[in-house]
Amino acid sequence: MSRDYDPALEPDVEFYRVADEDLTGEPGNLIRSEQLAQDAAAALDDARATYRVLYQSASGLGDEDTKPTNEPIAVSGLIAFPPGEAPAGGWPVVSWAHGTVGSADKSAPSMDPYLEDVPLANAGLGLLRKINKAPHALLNAFLRAGWAVAMTDYEGLGTYGNHPYLLGVSEGRGILDIVPAVHQLAAQTVGQQISDRYAIVGHSQGGQAALWGPTSRPPAPIRPPARARSSASPPWPRHPTSRTGCSWPIRAGSPSGISGPSTRCSATGSSVAIPPSIWS
């Protein structure tokens, strides 16, 4: 049965509401999905299809001993597939961790289609829409390079409960548990194979989330660890391995087919680079 609707803790949008029977699987279980219109605000322009998804995770909120409760929860997000056919072995996945957008449910990137009557602006909800669209150029580049793109909203953004901002274990579970959902969605919709290779990329709040992701726990049924992670401008306090202003090294023979000589960084530091082994 569904919880009684609480406007203080969840949006009044049917897609995001869950019943107890929706949460009987394992973290990473795809609960439901719906395809977005190609011109929807949250859809990626270079995707063959973008879907709004709801998937199962486990809460990172702590109990009275500050240990995660591990309560089964639903997390919302977006998944986009590249055009064309998947290569042998399937499309690799990039799990995108978005930056700070706010703590209200309407801040969730997957909620953007419900705000399409709000024009882009430099304040209020119009500014929020601009912030949510800002990563699209990067995410479209991943699609053109042959990556499936997963975009979690994080715990409590769009779904029931409060968003635990900068709670690393919660963010990390969100960006990990969406990866198995990509496999399930691809099988149900586009009929293409997904590789077990995945990388985590994040900016700002998502930069911190990307650093937590590999340590939060391996997602099921994808057991291998993330093959790479890239963290840009994580909020203070920084993880000792995080640096700012960096780009990934792209080399010939990568799925993108683009070559580049080295990681490029600002004077303030260097990146957690993608190792060459991710391409093999």
Provide the pLDDT for residue 262.
28
For residue 210, being part of any structural domain is answered with: yes
In the chain, how many domains are there? 1
Tell me which residue range forms the domain holding 210.
Answer: 14-239
For residue 164, being part of any structural domain is answered with: yes
Taking only the tens place, the pLDDT of each residue in 111-122 is 887 777 778 778
For residue 133, being part of any structural domain is answered with: yes
**Which residue has better confidence, 148 or 240?**
148
Provide the pLDDT for residue 23.
92
For residue 268, being part of any structural domain is answered with: no
For residue 276, being part of any structural domain is answered with: no
For residue 263, being part of any structural domain is answered with: no
For residue 9, being part of any structural domain is answered with: no
For residue 264, being part of any structural domain is answered with: no
Taking only the tens place, the pLDDT of each residue in 123-172 is 787 787 788 888 999 999 999 999 999 999 999 888 877 788 878 888 98
Q: At what angle do helices 168-188 and 205-216 cross, to 10 degrees?
A: 80
Provide the pLDDT for residue 160.
78
The CATH number given to whatever domain includes residue 129 is 3.40.50.1820
pLDDT beyond 60 at 269: no
